[in-house]
Amino acid sequence: MAFAAFGSSAAPVEQAPRRRSWVAVILLLPGLAYLALFFLTPFISLILTSLQTPVEFGDVGQFQQAFKIENYAQVVGEYWPHFLRAFGYALAATFFALVISYPLAYFIGVKARRWPLLQALMLTLVIAPFFISFLLRTLAWKSLMADETPLVQGLKALSIIPSDGHLTGTAFSVIFGLTYNFIPFMTLPLYTTLERLDTRYLEAGSDLYAAPATTFWKVTVPLSMPGIVSGTLLTFIPASGDYINASASFLGSAQTQMVGNVIETNFLGLLNYPAAAALSVILMAVILLIVGIYVRRSGTEDLL
């Protein structure tokens, strides 16, 4: 600025708003370097791995670089049920998390506005589970849902589950685990949008002959769309790649394996690195596709 003040006496030209700023570039540099080193490089490596072929007469886990595109067809052919299960479970968990979190977030963000202390307390309770390891909490649910617990005994007595049935190792327990573990990721973004919800719009809705339920669907939900979109994304994306809840050592069984579990097995167990890499690339591509369509369809661009 100082230089500009003493600058040429030529007619003052309107400064373009997009002036190149070296400060911005320097500030961006660490982030860009980080992304290049820890995202772009492994990603390229992952794609290269997914195209590798076993070394002839080599040991298990020995691969050489090739362009074996059949790897993809092979893993899709073999593991398509796991993909379906992963997206099905993630979808169900996202739905349940939304249904549970929305009233909770609405209460904290709108109804409890007059009592900031209650708001803070409830938010702390939402975040509190993070203070205990995710693995421990999931294991705790496993023992809570084990066959000999009063819960399962009671459900059997009421014939809700058959006498030879289980709670753990079922689709129910996996979806339950996913829902439970991702609820805070749903509640917090919902809370931040609902906390800013102007209740005068709700009064206007009521003034314009809309019953409370209509006002909710026509006014509250559209206005909280940014929170719904980010909450569902924050739940759906990690849930579809999750391999803890569905694994047999936690809440799942062989029948509930998700794509994350087969990636783990291929990578750590079978040492089939190209298959694991191909599965990862497909998972990533499908999630990107789903998210892209979702964000477009929800029309939140102009609300964000």
Cβ atoms < 10 Å from Cβ of 166: 16
Does residue 298 touch another protein according to CB under 8 A?
Answer: no
User: Six-digit token pair at 156?
Assistant: 């059997």
The neighbouring-strand residues paired with 63 are 54
Contact status: 211 vs another protein (CB under 8 A)? yes
**Which lies closer to another protein via its Cβ, residue 38 or residue 217?**
217
56 touching another protein, by CB under 8 A: no
The answer to whether residues 245 and 172 touch, using CB atoms and an 8 Å cutoff, is no
Q: Which structure tokens are listed for 24?
A: 């911005």
Residue 193: name the closest of 100, 291, 105 by CA.
105
Alpha carbon separation from 180 to 46, 122, 144, 174, 186 (Å, rounded):
31, 17, 14, 10, 11
Question: How far apart are alpha carbons 304 and 300 in whole angstroms?
Answer: 6
| Closest among 89, 136, 113, 108 to 259, alpha carbons compared | 89
Contact between 165 and another protein per CB under 8 A: no
Closest contact distance (angstroms) between CB of 207 and another protein is 5
- Contact mark string toward another protein, 218..257, x via CB under 8 A: xx--xx-x--------------------------------
Q: What's the CA gap between 287 and 238, in Å, rounded? A: 10
Does position 115 bind another protein by CB under 8 A?
Answer: no
Least distance CB 199 / another protein (angstroms): 10
| Out of 6, 22, 57, 209, the residue judged to bind another protein by CB under 8 A | 209
210 makes contact with another protein (CB under 8 A): yes
Q: Could you tell me the smallest distance in angstroms from the CB atom of residue 192 to another protein?
A: 17
Half-sphere exposure of 78 (CA within 13 A, CB side): 14
Residue 45 or 214: the one with the smaller Cβ distance to another protein is 214
35 binds another protein (CB under 8 A): no
97 closest CA partner among 181, 214, 204 = 181
Tokens encoding 272? 């089939």
Among 5, 131, 302, 304, contact with another protein (rule: CB under 8 A):
302
Q: Is 203 in the site for another protein (CB under 8 A)?
A: yes
| DSSP letter assigned to residue 15 | P
Using the rule CB under 8 A, is 198 a contact of another protein? yes
Q: Which among 158-166, 193-201, 242-250, 286-294 is the span making contact with another protein, rule CB under 8 A?
A: 193-201
CB of 198 to another protein, least distance (A): 8
Please work out the total of residues on this chain that contact another protein, with binding judged by CB under 8 A. 22
CB of 302 to another protein, least distance (A): 8
Tokens 């079978």 found at: 270
* Of 74 and 300, CB closest to another protein: 300
Beta strands per DSSP E along 123-281: none
Residues that bind another protein (CB under 8 A): 198, 200-201, 203-212, 214-215, 218-219, 222-223, 225, 302-303
